[in-house]
């Protein structure tokens, strides 16, 4: 088995980090550009496995995808109705965003598509997208009663019909899939969420000349004739990647970090609110807007943290950050209680289970798992241990920061960081 040992960072982490491009925005930049008809120059694209899966999908559907460097590419489509039938099965790899958003784009197309993915993606629930798209008239078939990969979309004679969908989950992937299908439907399509999820789809559609209407937690799209692609898209840095340095900076004594170019769209900044509430020393500087998205540099310095409590309402704003927030909670004084986090059970792995089983190896007795959350007892002794990543990038990176702040860790299957942050271990080394 492949392992990687991370040593304790005894002297704190210091320096600057250029945060890699946002994963959610990188996916959308390639997908939407491939639906335009003029070249789009994309910069600060996240060159990581998940986004490369999306680039390969769009190529298979007839778009031109030309990389100028790792993080810079030009995508040219054949128009909103110009996608071509793929000659072979489309592989979404490990990426739920690729698969779910592509289902929304492909459900209305006049050709057949079959999807596959890796072992993790085969276990994840796709019925949450297949059911609403089927209600609009799409014909989509999947394993286990139209729930799981492999999935085939069959062309249908009728146009899809717009509808109002009350989503049981706050999920940007579900919302985006329905809105994207709605562009091709007859009549308006509205998605209502229990709480507002990230709005990168709505913001980027605006850059392509497509207006959506927001009313509380509801978003409406009208049928769309064509995409007016922008010439340039600059992807801001990913706050979900910055999250590892935010927490490392807070909990490792002596740390002082400057995180450059972090996307701070308010639908993503739940981690800043929670860490500040725990007593973190975090300052935003150089606040600006880049390509319709808010961005800033963030300075973080070591400080004493205390436990906190949060639940369902803030969850969509920090859904991918729970593993690293759990690390912060281990180093805080008192208990941290997290509820309303049931969605974590259907991410790349069951993250509530992964956190409970693996973090307790390094901090015995510190984490109690509940059905929809975690209770973390801060301030328990932390020891070196060997722990498993479950091939989940966010579990691997959280374990690395836990080890660096504690007494070291040996991570089993460490390479999965390539899904979203290929330079992660190198960056950690450079900050010691």
The three-class DSSP label of residue 153 is strand
Beta-carbon contacts of residue 401 (< 8 Å; ≥ 6 apart): 244, 247, 248, 251, 324, 327, 428
Per-residue burial over 252-269, b if 16 or more Cβ lie within 10 Å, else e, is beebebbbebbbbbebbb
Does residue number 97 form part of the binding site for ligand S3P (CB under 6 A)?
A: yes
Angle at 51 (CA atoms; ends 184, 426), nearest 5 degrees: 160
Which one among 4, 19, 21, 24 touches ligand S3P, defined by CB under 6 A?
Answer: 24
Nearer to ligand S3P, 24 or 269 (CB): 24
Which token pair is 183? 């562009």
Residues 153-192 that bind ligand S3P (CB under 6 A): 171-173, 176
260 is known to lie in a ligand binding site: no
171 is known to lie in a ligand binding site: yes
Number of residues that bind ligand S3P (CB under 6 A): 11
- Strand 40-43's sheet: what is its strand order? 64-69, 72-76, 40-43, 232-234
Query: Per-residue contact track with ligand S3P, 98 to 137, x per CB under 6 A?
Result: ----------------------------------------
Query: Per-residue contact track with ligand S3P, 193 to 232, x per CB under 6 A?
Result: ----xx----------------------------------
Does residue number 53 form part of the binding site for ligand S3P (CB under 6 A)?
A: no
We find the least distance from the C-beta atom of residue 414 to ligand S3P, in angstroms, to be 20
173 is known to lie in a ligand binding site: yes
We find the least distance from the C-beta atom of residue 221 to ligand S3P, in angstroms, to be 16
Nearer to ligand S3P, 29 or 97 (CB): 97
320 catalytic residue (yes or no): yes
Residues 294-333 that bind ligand S3P (CB under 6 A): 319-320
Phi and psi at 72, nearest 5°, equal -130, 130
Distance from CA of residue 389 to its chain's centroid? 17
Residues shown for the chain = 432
430 is known to lie in a ligand binding site: no
| Residue with the shortest CB distance to ligand S3P | 24
Q: What is the DSSP string of 307-354?
A: --EE-TTTGGGTGGGHHHHHHHHHTSBSEEEE-S-GGGGGSSS-HHHH
What is the set of active-site residues?
320
* Interface positions with ligand S3P (CB under 6 A): 24, 97, 171-173, 176, 197-198, 319-320, 343
């Amino acid at each position: 088995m492949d392992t990687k040992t991370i040593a304790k960072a005894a002297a704190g982490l210091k320096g600057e980090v250029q945060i890699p491009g946002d994963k959610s925005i990188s996916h959308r930049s390639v997908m939407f550009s491939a639906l335009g008809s003029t070249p789009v120059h994309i910069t600060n694209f996240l060159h990581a496995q998940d986004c490369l899966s999306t680039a390969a999908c769009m190529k298979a559907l007839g778009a031109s995808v030309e990389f100028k460097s790792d993080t810079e590419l030009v995508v040219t489509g054949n128009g909103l109705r110009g996608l071509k039938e793929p000659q072979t099965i489309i592989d979404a790899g490990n990426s739920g965003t690729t698969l779910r958003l592509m289902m929304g784009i492909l459900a209305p197309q006049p050709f057949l598509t079959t999807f596959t993915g890796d072992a993790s993606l085969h276990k994840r629930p796709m019925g949450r997208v297949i059911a609403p798209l089927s209600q609009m008239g799409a014909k989509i078939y999947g394993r286990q009663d139209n729930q799981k990969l492999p999935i085939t979309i069959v062309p249908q004679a009728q146009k899809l019909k717009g509808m109002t969908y009350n989503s049981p989950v706050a999920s940007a992937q579900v919302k985006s899939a329905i809105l994207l299908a709605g562009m091709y439907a007859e009549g308006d399509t509205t998605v209502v969420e229990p709480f507002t999820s990230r709005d990168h789809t709505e913001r980027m559609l605006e850059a392509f000349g497509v207006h959506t209407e927001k009313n509380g937690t509801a978003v409406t799209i009208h049928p769309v004739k064509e995409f007016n692609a922008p010439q340039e898209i600059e992807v801001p840095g990913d706050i979900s990647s910055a999250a590892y340095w935010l927490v490392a900076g807070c909990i490792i004594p002596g740390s002082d970090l400057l995180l450059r170019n972090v996307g701070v769209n308010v639908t993503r900044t739940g981690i800043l609110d929670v860490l500040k509430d725990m007593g973190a020393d975090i300052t935003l500087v150089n606040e600006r807007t880049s390509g319709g998205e808010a961005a800033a540099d963030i300075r973080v310095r070591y400080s004493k943290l205390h436990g906190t409590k949060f639940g369902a309402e803030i969850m969509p704003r920090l859904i991918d950050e729970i593993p690293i927030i759990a690390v912060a909670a281990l180093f805080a004084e008192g208990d941290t209680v997290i509820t309303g986090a049931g969605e974590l059970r259907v991410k790349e792995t069951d993250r509530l289970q992964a956190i409970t089983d693996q973090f307790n190896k390094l901090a015995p007795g510190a984490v109690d798992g509940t059905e929809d959350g975690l209770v973390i007892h801060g301030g328990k002794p932390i020891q070196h241990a060997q722990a498993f990543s479950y091939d989940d990038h966010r579990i691997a990176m959280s374990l690395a920061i836990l080890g660096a702040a504690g007494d070291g860790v040996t991570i089993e299957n460490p390479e999965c960081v390539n899904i979203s942050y290929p330079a992660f271990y190198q960056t950690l080394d450079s900050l010691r």
